[in-house]
Structure 1
Amino acid sequence: MNMAIATLAGGCFWCTEAVFNELKGVDTVVSGYIGGSVPDPSYEAVCSGRTGHAEAVRISFDPNVVSYAELLDIFFHTHDPTTLNRQGADTGTQYRSAIFPHDAEQRAEAEAAIARNQDVWDNPIVTSIEPDTTWYPAEDYHQRYFERNGTANGYCAAVVAPKLAKFRKGYAARLKSAA
């Protein structure tokens, strides 16, 4: 398979990971940290807001099944890209909406996706396009977090589950389970 990589930050990585794990054409989704200045940051350090990293996901996908443009459209439909450094109650630069293109073509796609999705929102999209800097996978307990913890975790029950339900309803034909 000819896999491509996308790196996206849309607030809490548990939410973003849960969405993309269910999408046809996606092979793996890894939660992690990008865009900061501290080498090998921990979750606690990133949550402090002092490292400059964003909670993000790195998606390995088959572009013959799902395009980068489609990933970006889903990204814009499954988080609020109009709130600067915030997703719901999660605040700080670590929760920023950001795209980390891996090449010039992805950068152009990101710019086009921002323009294309602006009409979906009442307020301006503030999603940043940032350099693809060093990627740090998050600790093992963060990987596939919603899948392993589901609604037993209060945050997952209150935030992740409703977001995932909305995604499943809007993209039912694109889900792996629909294959």
Structure 2
Amino acid sequence: MDGLADLSVQLLGQKDDISWWQMCVRAGLILLFGLALVRVAGKRVFGKWGAIDIILSVIIGSNLSRALTGTAPFWETLLATTLLVALHAALVALATHVRPLGPLLKGNPVRIVQNGEPDHKAMRRHGIGEHDLEEALREGGVLDCKDVAEAWVERNGDISVIKR
């Protein structure tokens, strides 16, 4: 085991003693590791962002940058990051079976139009401007809000439009 540890120190350096080429080795390993994590985690983590997805991506980025610069132990940081991805997968899977967990992790949809009338208070609360609503209506094949039965800001941030 000491031989493997020595090889690791030789290739990756240590906390306060990392050469430019060791930083390059770290960068290559982290890129490969990050790609593997994204493939394992699936498109959902980085496709349609829920609260848990945003938090996970920030933590992954932070962890991997610390491993790259040597401000955190390399292998231990990769292991901890792998654990976070596994916890994310477990929580998302659990949320599909435990109904109250879904809104906690992913949020709730919010109605912003009902019977052709925009709910300006709900729109402001969720950062939806008039232009955003008009764009969503056009994407939904509607030109006038009066032709909308309901419009919702979905849990992933998309706006769904239901015609009258």
Q: TM-score range by the shorter chain?
A: under 0.3
The structure where helix makes up a greater share of residues is 2
Q: TM-score, normalised by structure 2?
A: 0.25
Q: Which of the pair has the greater relative contact order for Cα pairs under 8 Å at 6+ separation?
A: 1
Q: TM-score, normalised by structure 1?
A: 0.23
Max radius of gyration: which structure? Answer: 2
